[in-house]
């Protein structure tokens, strides 16, 4: 057996051809996702109990006063659609960042208690103390980071093992959710809308004051995550391999955790912990685009699409209006069961 | 293509928690050669490899590459010279062979840099060297153990390092696949001059494939040198606490270790005893 030193052209050609074909396919799918997100966004702005034509919507966006459209489109639909877009993108990106870094689809922030921490903090801040938007966001971030740290510390024993982290995270999430329920049940101005928002996530009655911080968070923290994209891909091969490939594992991990937790916290402070979006987006994006490149952007787009479509469906598809989290919950729960059943069949632990 | 790099440890002590695993180790690894590290379970072989590739910070002493301490070398710079294949690397679900091997290009890329023709060429060369070209479109988790190990070696080759550390590259492989992997590494060493340092459990394969053998016992260097110098009955007894006969391997002429055990050994096997006595000078 003599290994050739000089590469014979056929292999190189095969490699280049395969890579170019996959990159092309990936770009095509990202473009298709962009188109779908755009279409869902436009539909959300135009359609509803009254229909506003695209021309009216555009004029409202440009700042004109349009009788019959300014209020429905400008005040009701636009902030809601923008929040659906940014919160979905945040959940999708942060979810897949965690799943890639910890190498398990069950380690998404909505399963391991991080969303629950942000949600509980936001619920307490708003319902009990009536704090301002900035204070709510700050508190949500602090709580989410605190939960991330707590889960990490509790799960740490000679490095972080996936299963222990997942089980501890699920336990803490349950604890925080019951805390949220308690706060909501004790609050004087308790109402169903608020309860639904902090328990499953809802976009009802969204205002610009709630939406603006999530837009800033995506613009500020999104690039930070994207910058770590290649390092994240290397981390999915295990810490030792990543380190051997020149990744500074600890630094990457801290950066990714802070950025992803920040995205989750801002989105949750505005829309609640929209059930399972962080959990579902990554695996869907991976199925669509393959394993070649970073999943951050595709997963973000899938998240946006999920939230936009689920919110629209929840509002208009049934006799009763359901908050977005109920719809995504119905989608996500079966997938969770499927994942657990499949891992058990394969003889693995969680 | 290889410029020779010298990797050495100086008074190196390593440990986890309170436990010291390697103590006061001075070792220079021969450039351009195949060095195999042997030793009993938990004697610090893997720990040593991890430390040499910057994964574990020394308690005292240092690991030096070309006169420069590896723990002070920028991660990516080191990763362009020194590659490591860990004992059990994680295969992401559904990843294809091409994508996995491509990950080896990481130290040559920046966060947003584009994939270059050079990257393609390195991946292609790695696939050819490991005879995995036909597998490019396959999912790694569907491959056989031997194929998978070759793909992981291809990943490390795509990194294009002059030094390659491998932690038990033949574990879980049947004998023919073990030979295949070791032959492949020998090819790399001979055709490109890649310095190879690996941990092996099988003493006979270690003696056959190593240019230099390093025997560790309880975290200390017990013996280092050519297989003939190191692989003796005394070494086997000191390192593994086991009696054995060492004879000449009729296939390779290298030492062949035959464990005694409590059963089956027939006493008075004069021929084996004679050979072992003539080879048994450490």
Residues B235 and B193 in one domain: yes
Q: What is the mean pLDDT of residues A173-186?
A: 88
What pLDDT, on a 0 to 100 scale, did the predictor assign at position A73?
Answer: 85
Range of the domain at B122: 91-160
Report if residue B21 sits inside a domain: yes
Residues B191 and B127 in one domain: no
- Rounded to whole angstroms, the maximal C-alpha distance in chain B is 69
Report if residue B155 sits inside a domain: yes
Name the band, by pLDDT with cuts 50, 70 and 90, for residue A43. Answer: very high
* Residue A194 predicted with pLDDT over 80: no
Interface test with A, best of B52, B53, B99, B160 (most A CBs within 10 A): B99
* Residue B151 predicted with pLDDT over 60: yes
* Minimal CA separation from A322 to chain B, in Å: 35
Residues 81-140 of B with CB under 8 A from A: 82-86, 88-92, 94-96, 98-100, 102-104, 106-107, 109, 111-112, 115, 117, 120-121, 123-125, 127-129, 133, 136-137
Report if residue A3 sits inside a domain: no
* Minimal CA separation from A125 to chain B, in Å: 38
Residues B56 and B190 in one domain: yes
Report if residue A36 sits inside a domain: yes
Nearest CA in chain A to B78: A246
Q: What is the mean pLDDT of residues A225-232?
A: 93
Report if residue A201 sits inside a domain: yes
Residues B136 and B39 in one domain: no
Report if residue A91 sits inside a domain: yes
A11 contact residues in B (CB cutoff 8 A): 124-125, 127-128, 133
Report if residue B45 sits inside a domain: yes
How many domains in chain B? 2
Q: Which of B125, B160, B195 is the last residue of a domain?
A: B160
Q: What is the mean pLDDT of residues A308-331?
A: 90
Residues B74 and B185 in one domain: yes
How many domains in chain A? 1
Report if residue B121 sits inside a domain: yes
Report if residue A21 sits inside a domain: yes
Quick: pLDDT tens for A150-177. Answer: 988 888 765 566 678 888 999 999 999 8
CATH of residue A330: 1.10.3470.10
* Residue A226 predicted with pLDDT over 90: yes
Report if residue A2 sits inside a domain: no
Report if residue B203 sits inside a domain: yes
How many Å apart are CA A273 and CA B30, to the nearest integer? Answer: 57
- Enter the ipTM: 0.85
Choose among B95, B106, B137: nearest Cβ to A245: B106
Residues B25 and B152 in one domain: no
Residues B48 and B25 in one domain: yes
Report if residue B247 sits inside a domain: no
pLDDT above 90 coverage of chain B, percent: 57
Q: What is the mean pLDDT of residues B137-156?
A: 91
Higher pLDDT, A118 or A189: A118
Cβ within 8 Å, pair A7-B102: no
Contact with chain A for residue B150, Cβ under 8 A: no
Choose among A19, A158, A230: nearest Cβ to B98: A19
Residues B136 and B32 in one domain: no
* Residue A347 predicted with pLDDT over 60: no
Q: What is the mean pLDDT of residues B19-46?
A: 89
Report if residue B259 sits inside a domain: no
Min mean pLDDT across A95-104, A188-197, B182-191, B244-253 is at: A188-197
* Cβ pairs A/B, distance under 8 A: 129
Q: Considering the entire predicted model, what is its pTM?
A: 0.87
Choose among A5, A16, A246: nearest Cβ to B78: A246
Higher pLDDT, B277 or A323: A323
Report if residue B46 sits inside a domain: yes
Residues B1 and B76 in one domain: yes
What pLDDT, on a 0 to 100 scale, did the predictor assign at position A345?
Answer: 63
Quick: pLDDT tens for A248-291. Answer: 988 998 899 999 999 999 999 889 889 899 999 999 999 899 87
CATH of residue B62: 3.40.50.300
Higher pLDDT, A131 or B273: A131
What is the residue whose two structure tokens read 């260097």? B221
Range of the domain at A14: 9-60+67-345
């Amino acid at each position: 057996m003599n290994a050739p030193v000089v590469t014979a052209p056929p292999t190189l050609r095969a490699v280049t051809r395969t890579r170019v074909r996959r990159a092309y396919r990936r770009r095509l799918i990202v473009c298709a996702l962009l188109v779908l997100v755009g279409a869902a966004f436009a539909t959300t702005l135009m359609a509803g109990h009254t229909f506003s034509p695209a021309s009216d919507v555009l004029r409202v966006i440009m700042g004109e006063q349009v009788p019959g459209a300014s209020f429905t489109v400008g005040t009701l639909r636009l902030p809601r659609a923008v929040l659906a877009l940014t919160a979905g993108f945040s959940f999708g990106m942060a979810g897949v960042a965690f799943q890639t870094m910890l190498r398990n689809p069950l380690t998404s922030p909505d399963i391991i208690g991080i969303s629950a921490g942000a949600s509980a903090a936001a619920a307490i801040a708003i319902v009990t103390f009536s704090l301002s938007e900035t204070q709510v966001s700050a508190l949500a971030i602090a709580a989410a980071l605190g939960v991330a740290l707590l889960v990490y510390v509790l799960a740490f024993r000679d490095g972080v093992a996936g299963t222990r982290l997942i089980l501890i995270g699920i336990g803490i999430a349950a604890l925080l959710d019951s805390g949220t329920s308690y706060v909501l049940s004790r609050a004087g101005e308790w109402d169903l809308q608020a309860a639904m928002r902090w328990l499953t996530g809802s976009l009802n009655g969204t205002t610009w004051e709630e939406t603006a911080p999530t837009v800033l968070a995506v613009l500020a923290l999104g690039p930070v995550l994207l910058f770590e994209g290649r390092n994240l891909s290397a981390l999915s091969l295990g810490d030792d391999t990543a380190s051997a490939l020149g990744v500074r594992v600890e630094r990457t991990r801290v950066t990714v955790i802070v950025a992803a937790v920040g995205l989750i916290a801002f989105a949750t402070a505005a829309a609640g912990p929209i059930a399972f979006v962080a959990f579902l987006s990554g695996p869907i994006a991976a199925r669509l685009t393959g394993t070649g490149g970073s999943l951050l952007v595709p997963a973000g787009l899938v998240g946006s699409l999920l939230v936009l479509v689920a919110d629209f469906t929840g509002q208009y598809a049934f006799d009763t209006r359901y908050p977005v989290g109920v719809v995504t919950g119905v989608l996500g729960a079966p997938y969770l069961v499927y994942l657990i059943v499949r891992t058990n069949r394969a003889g693995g632990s969680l | 293509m290889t410029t020779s790099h010298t990797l050495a440890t100086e008074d190196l002590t390593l440990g986890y928690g309170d436990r010291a695993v390697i103590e006061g180790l001075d070792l220079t690894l021969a450039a351009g050669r195949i060095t195999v590290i042997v030793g009993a379970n938990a004697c610090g072989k893997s720990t040593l490899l991890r430390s040499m590739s910057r994964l574990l910070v020394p308690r005292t002493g240092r690991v030096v590459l070309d006169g420069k301490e590896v723990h002070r070398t920028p991660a990516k710079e080191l990763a362009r010279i020194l590659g490591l294949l860990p004992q059990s690397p994680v295969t992401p679900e559904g990843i294809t062979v091409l994508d996995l091997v491509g990950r080896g290009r990481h130290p040559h890329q920046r966060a947003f840099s584009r994939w270059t023709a050079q990257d393609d060429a390195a991946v292609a060369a790695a696939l050819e060297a490991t005879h995995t070209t036909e597998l490019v479109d396959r999912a790694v988790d569907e491959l056989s153990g031997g194929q998978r190990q070759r793909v992981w070696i291809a990943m490390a080759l795509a990194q294009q390092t002059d030094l390659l550390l491998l932690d038990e590259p033949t574990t879980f492989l049947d004998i023919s696949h073990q030979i295949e992997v070791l032959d492949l590494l020998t090819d790399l060493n001979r055709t490109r001059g890649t310095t190879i340092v690996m941990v092996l459990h099988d003493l006979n394969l270690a003696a056959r494939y190593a240019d230099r053998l390093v025997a560790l016992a309880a975290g200390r260097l017990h013996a280092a040198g050519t297989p003939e110098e190191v692989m003796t009955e005394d070494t086997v007894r000191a390192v593994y606490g086991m009696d054995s006969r060492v004879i000449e391997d009729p296939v390779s002429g290298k030492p062949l270790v035959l464990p005694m055990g409590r059963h089956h050994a027939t006493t008075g096997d004069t021929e084996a005893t004679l050979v072992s006595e003539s080879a048994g000078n450490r």
